[in-house]
Structure 1
């Protein structure tokens, strides 16, 4: 049986809240940037193009 010793530093003191919040804001911004780039790279649909094998 493995017995773990308690850590000296509580998890809430490992990363200061200011850095944690800034990192979260950065990750959200990167997500928006990647989503925008993906939408910009999507091919445009052409109106009036008939699809093969599809009946109305």
Structure 2
């Protein structure tokens, strides 16, 4: 149970960190991500970064 709580806290930390556009771009460049991988991580962390051609809710 402690590991789950620790992971949930880390995910929240990464979500807050990566929602900043500057940190998001640095994350993409550091890991040399393609569009599909960017979309995967955006969705995984539930980030607020729309991609061109997507509808914003």
TM-score over 0.5 for the pair = no
The structure with the greater share of residues assigned to helix is 2
Larger Rg: 1
> What's the TM-score, normalizing by structure 2?
0.35
Q: Which has the higher contact order (CA 8 A, sep 6+)?
A: 2
